[in-house]
Amino acid sequence: MAEPPRPSGAARDESAPTAAQLARRILLAADPAAKQQAAHAAWAIASAGRLAEPVPGGPAAPMPDRPARPTRPLLLPPAAMPKRGRAGSPRARFALLHALAHIAFNAIDLAADMAGRFGHLMPPGFASDWFRIAAEEAAHFAMLAELLAEQGGSYGDLPAHDGLWEAARATSHDLAARLAVVPQVLEARGLDVTPAMIARFRALGDARAADVLARILNDEIGHVAAGNRWFRQVVGDSSGEAVQRFHVLVRAHFRGGLKPPFNDSARAEAGLATDWYQPLCARCPPWS
């Protein structure tokens, strides 16, 4: 016999954590180990379907203006960052891996903020998707930290640049703008630059680092794809509206334009055909 229909709201598990609560735990964890653990815990809850359902039209939950940070690395303005050393030298390789670890560390927070700040506006799959991405970023950080350890160092040994939260701050009021800039501009940039890094590490005989970056590149295609999929859903995807809206939002919220060369095949796999990014290219000749 079919179960009688439940009164509206009776199925809601009052003890289930909200996306905002889980996101705050990630964002407010300063220590790298605690932040990684919070990201994996959030994804375990989300993937088991134990996330509280978003309340349609519910109030926006307060999210921290800035995520908590460990005492090291020293954060510097991008222009004040020291040079990485002679290309291919052990010092330069360590500095590159350190910079990538810093990007992954920030990406944990960017994904958590996406889930926590905007999850109440979206279907449950949205927060779950971004908690999966936060957990993958935590795994990337762990792999990069291990490479740093194999070279006798650790995350925090070098200064790191403090500009990565800027895109989040500039788009904290607007989900479409956030989805345009963070996954589809910043993370998409990772798709463009990582293949050359993989080739460089292979040429230097560092297969371990090359393999780690290849795994990261593969996951990052999925992050850009998630951004593109949710962006199309938020802005509507009919008659070229999504791509036009993307151009307007990127021009409004991202300074400087996009830099070639582009990884066309990885971008296409993520849903970004050339008409999405070529018109935003800052240094492309007009005939390209």
88 contacts 149 by C-beta, under 8 angstroms: no
186 contacts 230 by C-beta, under 8 angstroms: no
Q: Does 192 bind Fe ion (CB under 5 A)?
A: no
Question: For residue 149, what are its two tokens?
Answer: 């350890």
73 contacts 130 by C-beta, under 8 angstroms: no
27 contacts 116 by C-beta, under 8 angstroms: yes
| H-run or E-run covering 106 | helix 90-118
Q: Which is nearer to Fe ion, 129 or 162 (CB)?
A: 129
State in angstroms the smallest separation of the CB of 238 from Fe ion: 28
4-43: which residues touch Fe ion (CB under 5 A)? none
Q: Which is nearer to Fe ion, 17 or 230 (CB)?
A: 230
Q: Does 109 bind Fe ion (CB under 5 A)?
A: no
108 contacts 36 by C-beta, under 8 angstroms: yes
Q: Which is nearer to Fe ion, 45 or 100 (CB)?
A: 100
Stretch that binds Fe ion, among 64-72, 116-124, 172-180, 222-230 (CB under 5 A): 222-230
Q: Which is nearer to Fe ion, 73 or 227 (CB)?
A: 227
Q: Which is nearer to Fe ion, 52 or 213 (CB)?
A: 213
89-108: which residues touch Fe ion (CB under 5 A)? 107
Q: Does 178 bind Fe ion (CB under 5 A)?
A: no
Among 109, 187, 192, 206, binds Fe ion (CB under 5 A): 187
Helix, strand, coil shares, percent, the chain, to 5: 60, 0, 35
Q: Does 223 bind Fe ion (CB under 5 A)?
A: yes
Of how many residues is the chain composed?
288
Cα distance between residue 160 and residue 81, in whole Å: 7
Question: For residue 71, what are its two tokens?
Answer: 């005492």
Q: Does 132 bind Fe ion (CB under 5 A)?
A: no
State in angstroms the smallest separation of the CB of 136 from Fe ion: 7
Residues that bind Fe ion (CB under 5 A): 107, 187, 220, 223
